[in-house]
Amino acid sequence: MMINSQKVFVDTSAWIALINSSNNLAAKAKQILVRLNQQQVILVTTEFLHC
């Protein structure tokens, strides 16, 4: 059961930073993801593009 139903939008650039350790934002992205997981936040990503 999810205690906290708070949702956070995660842009694809955050996921890229997480999988690419040479990315200069990799450490920060991992730190933020760990904190969000600890808070049991729902992560939302979409493939929708609005131009």
**39 or 48, greater pLDDT:** 39
Q: What is the pLDDT of residue 10?
A: 93
Provide the percentage of residues in the chain whose pLDDT is more than 70: 88
From CA 21, how far away is CA 23, in angstroms rounded?
A: 5
DSSP 23: S
Contact 4, 40 (CB under 8 A): yes
pTM: 0.72
**Residue 2 pLDDT exceeds 70:** no
